Chain A
Amino acid sequence: MTLTRFVVRRAAGGLVFALVVASLTLLIARLAPGDATTGEAIAMTVEQRAALRADLGLDQPLLTQYGRWLVGLTRFDLGRSSLFKRPVADLVGERALNTALLAVVALVVASLVGIPLGRYTGASHAMLARAVGAASVAVLSLPPLLSALLLVLVAAHTGWLPAGGMTSGGLSGAAWLADLAWHLPVPVLALALPLAATLERVQSRAMAEAIGRPFVDASRARGLTRERTLRVHAWPASLAPVLGIYGVLVGAIFSGSFVVEVVTSWPGLGRLLFDALLARDVWLVAGCGAAGAASLAVATTMADVVHATLDPRLLERRG
């Protein structure tokens, strides 16, 4: 299989995946008790509520509503949010950018921390390496909710960093960028710490396995220094399994961002989904689900492409 064909197949699969996830989230949101009119039901007469349900199209059978939504999708119309009275595509677009920023920075930070540490711990038996490994296991057991709460508490008590939010407002240009960077550490660390620990553990194991393989011994026998052997032969060989988990990590980032955004008041997709679920805004829930699934599909495809580029056997295996 050529790389182009591989990418096209993965992209098509990603589209189907996003559609299935969005449909399932829509169905699950519809199955929850109540609908978009529930929040105001106590302030309305039965007739007023029925009229509002009709206005929102909620009086139609589920299949009819779903069919209309599918037709809308062909025009990139994700429906209209009953909560915000705005097109879902606009809302999701605004918030997905904020989540993407958080996710990308968290992924970069996790990679910059986790991979070098894993490379070190996989190649060393020193006390420090064992301590780093133990710390990773401890961080891995820390769910993003807890790490976010701890970091927010530290920020609020010390005043070193903002305890929440994305920007301070009233700023523009370079000052806005600097302010954004000032707000990033708490949510980014909350998301990145468990990812960095995951990467460290995977990289460490892969590195240890690579070191034990014959070609590493052969390169040492050819007179290469230990450090050069590790850098030129062992480490590149160990990267394949690490790249393979990036797709999974992106999924973890999106599920983690759901709680981190709520705790740190970050205006992203996770918080939007949370608000939409509480308000029974089914189209917005489906839109958030579709955006999350599409991001996951894109990220896993990119990870697989890089993986396939580094290890062409992957394309051969997939025929």
Chain B
Amino acid sequence: MLGLTALFWSTRQPAPSGRLEQGAQAPLPRGGTLVASLRTEPRSFNRLVSRDVATEIVTLLTQARLVRVNRATQQVEPWLAETWTTSPDGQVFTLTLREGLQWSDGAPFTSADVAFTFKAIFDPTTKSVLASGLEVDGQPLTTATPDAHTVVVTYPRPFGPGIRLLDNVVILPRHKLEAAVASGTLSDAWTPTTPPADIVGMGPFVLTRYEPGQRLTFARNPRYWRRDAAGQALPYLDGLVLAIVPNADAELLGLRSGQIDMTQQQLRAEDIATARDLERKGLVTVQEAGVTLDPDVFFFNLRPAAWAKDPRGTWLLTDAFRQAISHAVDREAYANTVYLGAAVPVHGPITPGNKDWFWPDLPRYPFDQAKARALLAGLGLTNRDADPWLEDAAGTEARFTLLAFRSLDRGAQVLKESLEAVGVAVDVVTLETGALIERMVTGRFETIFFNYVSSDTDPAMQRDLWLSSGSGHIWNISQPTPATPWEAQIDDLITRQAASIDQAERVRLFREVQRIFSEHLPALYFAAPRVYLAVSTRVRNATPGVSRPQLIWSADTLAVAPAAALR
């Protein structure tokens, strides 16, 4: 039955020619230029070879994909592919491309461009950063193009996220880059020094100017294919500027002075009050997108070798010790102190912001200092001297070093105070990002307080975090074989979950993963901030999402009010 459903299933269809469904509302103004901030400069204009945030944002503006994950709904939408069907085994996707589409230079878009893009991604000379993400069990996706408007994508094995994976594939123009792929120089194509006119895409905008250190200027792509419900060609904006603003303070000042209309990412907790003040003055509107997907995470170094000669390893590596810590932290107070109330308590890595995968019934560790002390006492940790710290039978103090991002020092401080209240001493050391990541990946740490940016809401797309062999398995990275039985169990469940195309089964398997995770607590989560975004009052139709980039992802439907309308 499920197989038959899959066979005839196709996506929710948009109106013909990619028209937006739009409720009864005032027509949006056309024209004008919007200025958004960008924290860093793009390393490349070629998404195949660079994964930095700025390159991703430029790509969102200038290029297009076969399907798109809507950042507000977190669901897959048709994009260059108008419809698709899935084979019963979930391995073959037959996509029908929209007809009559053109690249920004007027060249026709066909399935050959899609085949070329896949070839470029998997060409070893490209060294594409997308290649490994487009493999299932180490095998690449394959494509066939029976005609100019049909693409057949075959997965080597059934893969739960299915077509969602194709949101990562930025389609490149064969007619512009074929020579570079043939000569093995695609990795050097479309650099920041490439003349903007040479960068051709199917996104809503075309790059017209890059002024290093200052801004990227985009103009409307006159050949963009999308239209609104009234049949008006998108984007609404004549132009868009990404102003390079190096930090959050400068962004907020830019909003205040009217130099920028929206920020690249969410407001910091300490800036929300300022933004609310600007809102009262009519300068900005503050919008809430929901709860973040990326809560701060606290984890121990669970590499057994790291503690082999350390007497603390006998109790520090136990589940009970981490469970005691979880009980020792008052998550409500943590959310109020660290995020000034703009956060919700969480008990695992999947937050309420993740609409499809959040499990509200996840086992919890309520705030209970007595229980925390009892768990620690069960490990032989009691106060044996005059100082306030617990010691084990050999006299070793219950103490560890916590490395924290500089931006997370408030959270680290609350954590330290919470643990000190149950007799565990914490020495907090704040580090800048590079130094902390290096310590993490090389295993030279005791504990880390960190923020992990997830790439997708679907757990099968985050296998790097869940699988013991993954590079994002932060508490014990890239294990040749699972170090513990429960990690082996999670490996098995995640592998089965990723291979299943039955959504109910996938949810069941992932809840089991979360249950095991919650029992062993390799990483602890305390609160997830709400995502607040400040946009200028002249911006219309902003659709914030919790995934990054939270606002600019829907650039084709953003509009700005004409100056006269604001007077």
Do B435 and A34 touch (CB < 8 A)? yes
Q: Interface 1/0s, chain B 243-255, versus A by CB < 8 A?
A: 1111101100110
Q: Which of B6-14, B38-46, B329-337, B416-424 contacts A (4 or more CB under 8 A)?
A: B38-46
Interface status of A247 (Cβ within 8 A of chain B): no
Least CB distance, A186 to chain B, in whole angstroms: 11
Interface status of A45 (Cβ within 8 A of chain B): yes
User: Which A residue sits closest to B33, measured CB to CB?
Assistant: A170
User: Which A residue sits closest to B478, measured CB to CB?
Assistant: A46
Least CB distance, A97 to chain B, in whole angstroms: 11
Task: Given A33-B434, A38-B438, A43-B471, decide whether A267 and B259 contact each other with a Cβ distance below 8 A.
Answer: no
Do A46 and B471 touch (CB < 8 A)? yes
In the assembly, what is the distance between CA of A156 and CA of B140, in Å?
Answer: 52
Question: Which of A163, A166, A262 interacts with B246 by CB under 8 Å?
Answer: A262
Interface status of B192 (Cβ within 8 A of chain A): yes
Question: Which of A55, A83, A165, A170 interacts with B43 by CB under 8 Å?
Answer: A83
Which B residues touch A34, using CB under 8 A?
434-435, 437-438
Do A265 and B192 touch (CB < 8 A)? no
Least CB distance, A159 to chain B, in whole angstroms: 6
In the assembly, what is the distance between CA of A169 and CA of B242, in Å?
Answer: 11
In the complex, which residues 21-45 of chain A have their Cβ closer than 8 Å to any Cβ of chain B? 32-34, 38-45
Do A164 and B471 touch (CB < 8 A)? no
Do B257 and A42 touch (CB < 8 A)? no
Question: Which of B435, B440, B472 interacts with A32 by CB under 8 Å?
Answer: B435
Least CB distance, A165 to chain B, in whole angstroms: 6
Do B43 and A164 touch (CB < 8 A)? no
Do A42 and B471 touch (CB < 8 A)? yes
The number of chain A residues touching the other chain, given as a range, is: 35 or more
Least CB distance, A161 to chain B, in whole angstroms: 9
Which B residues touch A85, using CB under 8 A?
43-44, 50, 188, 191-192
Do A41 and B437 touch (CB < 8 A)? yes
Do A164 and B217 touch (CB < 8 A)? no
Interface status of A237 (Cβ within 8 A of chain B): no
Least CB distance, B201 to chain A, in whole angstroms: 20
Q: Interface 1/0s, chain B 474-493, versus A by CB < 8 A?
A: 10001000000000000000
In the assembly, what is the distance between CA of A46 and CA of B437, in Å?
Answer: 14
Chain B residues at the A interface, C-beta cutoff of 8 Å: 40-41, 43-44, 50-51, 127, 129, 132, 188, 191-193, 209, 211-215, 217, 241, 243-247, 249-250, 253-254, 256-259, 432-435, 437-441, 452, 464, 471-472, 474, 478
The 3 residue pairs across chains A and B that have the minimum distance between CB atoms: A267-B213, A34-B438, A156-B253
Chain A residues at the B interface, C-beta cutoff of 8 Å: 32-34, 38-46, 48, 51, 55, 83-86, 90-91, 94-95, 98, 152-153, 155-157, 159, 162-167, 169-170, 262-265, 267-268, 271-272, 274-275, 278-280
Identify 18 residue pairs between A and B in the complex whose beta-carbon atoms are under 8 Å apart, listed by A's number: A33-B439, A44-B471, A46-B478, A51-B127, A85-B192, A86-B192, A91-B212, A94-B213, A152-B250, A153-B253, A165-B243, A166-B214, A167-B214, A169-B214, A265-B250, A275-B246, A278-B433, A279-B434
